[in-house]
Amino acid sequence: MKTLKQLLAEKQHPLAVVSPADTVFHALGVMAQHDVGALLVLDGEALVGIFSERDYARKVILHGKASKDTPVRDIMSERVVYVTPDQTLDQCMALMTEKRFRHLPVLNTDGSVAGIISIGDLVKETISSQQFIIDELARYISS
């Protein structure tokens, strides 16, 4: 089974981030530009939160706040659960399922940001791995 380090190395998208001072409107634009459902919130190089579509729906829309006037810091999730690059995809899938997360930041042992993974990344990799096994078994059976 692949580790997150291997999966992140294969991802070709640049890391989508915002700062805590950016407006929610700006963050939504970054999400649309990168076609992602969550952004890491960085203060300089330090991870200080995560902003997701769920945060927007529950903390802006439902409370009648204005996206153009609300800073990301006011609605981001500050208590960020993260994983490290040496963890397996199975470990991440279990954590995401248990905690009902769709996105997980990946931090190096020194606390620097290595990337972010989504449940979609994990499902895509799981399907690819299973297809490889199926193909190998089919070749074995037919030989």
Contact yes or no for 84/109 (Cβ under 8 A): yes
Full-model pTM = 0.84
Beta bridge partners of 88: 3
pLDDT at 1: 65
The angle, 0 to 180 degrees and rounded to 10, between the axes of the packed helices 89-99 and 119-142 is 130
Query: Whose CA is closest to 40, among 8, 16, 24?
Result: 16
pLDDT at 130: 80
As averages over each run of 10 residues, the pLDDT of the chain (143 residues) reads 81 89 97 95 95 92 88 94 92 93 94 92 85 82 83
pLDDT at 110: 93
Topology annotation, domain 4-142:
CBS-domain (3.10.580)
Is beta strand 38-43 parallel, antiparallel or unpaired with respect to 17-18?
A: parallel
Q: Where are the domains of the chain?
A: 4-142
Query: Whose CA is closest to 120, among 36, 18, 54?
Result: 36
pLDDT at 33: 95
Q: How far apart are CA 35 and CA 56, in angstroms?
A: 16
Helix (H, G, I), strand (E, B) or coil at 44: coil
pLDDT at 143: 75
pLDDT at 38: 96
Contact yes or no for 115/6 (Cβ under 8 A): no
